[in-house]
Amino acid sequence: MAFFFRPKLVDSLKAYSREQLGADIAAGLTVGVVALPLAMAFAIASGLKPEAGLFTAIIAGFIISALGGSKVQIGGPAGAFIVIVYGILERYGLANLIIATAASGVLLFIMGLLKLGTLIRFIPVAVVIGFTNGIAVLIMLSQAKDFLGLKVSNMPADFFGILRALSDALPSFQPTSFALALGSLLLIVVWQRTFAARPSQTQASGLRRTLQVIPGSIVALVVATLVAQSLSLPVETIGSKFGGIPSALPSFVWPEFSLEALKNLSMPIFTITLLGAIESLLCARIADGLIGDRHNPNQELMAQGVANFVTPFFGGMPATGTIARTVTNVKSGGRSPVAGMVHALTLLVVVWVAAPLANHVPLAALAAILMFVAWNMGEWHAFSDLKQFRAPYRITLLAVFLLTVMVDLTVAVEFGLFAACVTFIYRISNLSRVEQLSPVDTQALIGQDGRISAYRFYGALFFGAVKLVEAIEDHLPQKAVILDLKNIIYIDSSGADALMALAQVCQKRQVRLLICGLNHQPMDIAKRTGLLDLVGKDCQPDWGTGLETALSSENL
Rounded average pLDDT over 176-198: 87
Q: pLDDT-based confidence at 539, cuts 50/70/90?
A: very low
Same domain for 439 and 346: no
Q: Are residues 375 and 454 in the same domain?
A: no
Give the burial class of 276: count Cβ atoms within 10 A of its Cβ; 0-12 exposed, 13-18 middle, 19 or more buried. Answer: buried
- CA distance from start to end of the chain: 53
**What value does the CA radius of gyration of the chain take, rounded to a whole number of Å?**
30
Q: Which residue has the higher pLDDT, 258 or 385?
A: 385
Whole-number Å distance between alpha carbons of 309 and 459: 45
Last residue of a domain, one of 429, 454, 483: 429
Whole-number pLDDT of residue 541? 44
Q: What pLDDT, on the 0 to 100 scale, is given for residue 550?
A: 52
Question: What is the structure's pLDDT at 535?
Answer: 74
Q: Assess whether pLDDT exceeds 90 at residue 193.
A: no
| Same domain for 119 and 253 | yes
| pLDDT over 90 at 481, yes or no | no
Top-confidence range, 21-35, 61-75, 146-160, 379-393? 61-75
d(CA 58, CA 56): 5
Residue 200 has a pLDDT of 45
Is 119 found in the same domain as 180? Answer: yes
* Range ranked top by mean pLDDT from 95-104, 384-393, 511-520: 95-104
Give the structural domain span for 416. Answer: 387-429
pTM over 0.85: no
Same domain? For 457 and 438 the reply is yes
Q: Which of 130-134, 214-218, 237-241, 399-403 has the lowest mean pLDDT?
A: 214-218
Q: Domain with 542 in it: what CATH number?
A: 3.30.750.24
| 554 vs 173, higher pLDDT | 173
User: Both 411 and 466 in a single domain?
Assistant: no
Report DSSP letters for 492-542, one per residue. Answer: -HHHHHHHHHHHHHHHHTT-EEEEE---HHHHHHHHHHTHHHHH-GGG---
pLDDT (tens digit per residue) in 305-316: 999 999 999 999
Q: State the total domains in the chain.
A: 3
On average, the pLDDT of the chain sits at 86
Is pLDDT of 1 > 50? no
Indicate whether 540 pLDDT > 50.
no
Tell me how crowded residue 463 is: count the other CB atoms within 10 A of its CB: 14
Q: Is the pLDDT of residue 53 over 50?
A: yes
In the sheet that holds 452-461, the strands lie side by side as 433-437, 452-461, 480-491, 512-516
Cα(539)–Cα(19) distance, rounded to whole angstroms?
Answer: 73
> Is residue 112 helix, strand or coil?
helix
The answer to whether position 270 is within a domain reads yes
Using the predicted structure, report yes or no on whether residue 546 has a pLDDT greater than 50: no
| Last-in-domain residue among 374, 407, 429 | 429
Mean pLDDT of 2-18: 84
- What is the model's pLDDT at position 538? 42
**pLDDT interval class at 442 (50, 70, 90):** low
Q: Which residue has the higher pLDDT, 432 or 409?
A: 432
Predicted pLDDT at 342: 96
* Digit-coded pLDDT (tens) for 197-236: 554 444 555 677 767 767 788 889 999 999 999 999 999 9
Axis-axis angle for helices 363-377, 125-142 (nearest 10): 160
- Same domain for 307 and 398? no
Pairing relation of β-strands 320-321 and 75-76? antiparallel
In-domain check, residue 198: yes
Residue-level pLDDT at 247: 80
Above 70 in pLDDT, residue 549? Answer: no
The reply to whether 333 and 344 lie within a common domain is: yes
Residue 545 forms part of a structural domain: yes
Q: Are residues 408 and 491 in the same domain?
A: no
Confidence of residue 106 (pLDDT cuts 50, 70, 90): very high
Mean pLDDT over residues 469-482, rounded?
86
pLDDT of residue 68: 95
pLDDT, residue 548, reads 54
Sign of CA dihedral 366, 372, 376, 378: positive
Percentage of the chain with pLDDT > 90?
44
What mean pLDDT is predicted for residues 415-433?
Answer: 88
Q: Alpha-carbon distance 339 to 337, whole Å?
A: 5
49 and 174 belong to one structural domain: yes
Q: Are 502 and 518 in contact (CB under 8 A)?
A: no
Predicted pLDDT at 534 = 77
Indicate the residue among 429, 463, 489 that finishes a domain.
429
- DSSP tag of 482: E
Nearest-angstrom CA–CA distance, 215 and 358: 18
Pairing assessment for the beta strands 433-437 and 452-461 based on DSSP bridges: antiparallel
Three-state DSSP class for residue 366: helix
Q: Is residue 321 scored above 90 in pLDDT?
A: yes
The amino acid at 534:
L
pLDDT at 516 over 90: no
| Rounded average pLDDT over 546-551 | 51
Which pLDDT does position 553 carry in this prediction?
Answer: 52
What number is the average pLDDT over the span 85-104?
92
Residue 3 falls inside a structural domain: no
Residue 556 lies in a domain: no
Closest among 307, 253, 255 to 276, alpha carbons compared? 307
Average pLDDT, integer, range 19-37: 90
Q: Which amino acid is at 186?
A: L
Residue 7 domain-assigned? no
Query: Mean per-residue pLDDT for 331-352?
Result: 92
The average pLDDT across 39-43 equals: 92
Asked whether residue 194 carries a pLDDT value surpassing 90, the answer given is no
The H or E element containing residue 414 is helix 409-431
**How many other CB atoms are found less than 10 A from the CB of residue 151?**
11
Indicate whether 310 belongs to any domain: yes
Domain identity same for 316 and 407: no
At 224, the amino acid letter reads A
Segment 66-76, tens digit of pLDDT: 999 999 999 99
Average pLDDT over residues 373-398: 90
Residue 296 domain-assigned (yes or no): yes
Grade residue 196 by pLDDT with cuts at 50, 70 and 90: low
pLDDT for position 542: 47
Residues 534 and 408 in one domain: no
* Position 526 pLDDT exceeds 90: no
Would you give the DSSP letter of residue 252? Answer: P
Mean pLDDT of 121-144: 87
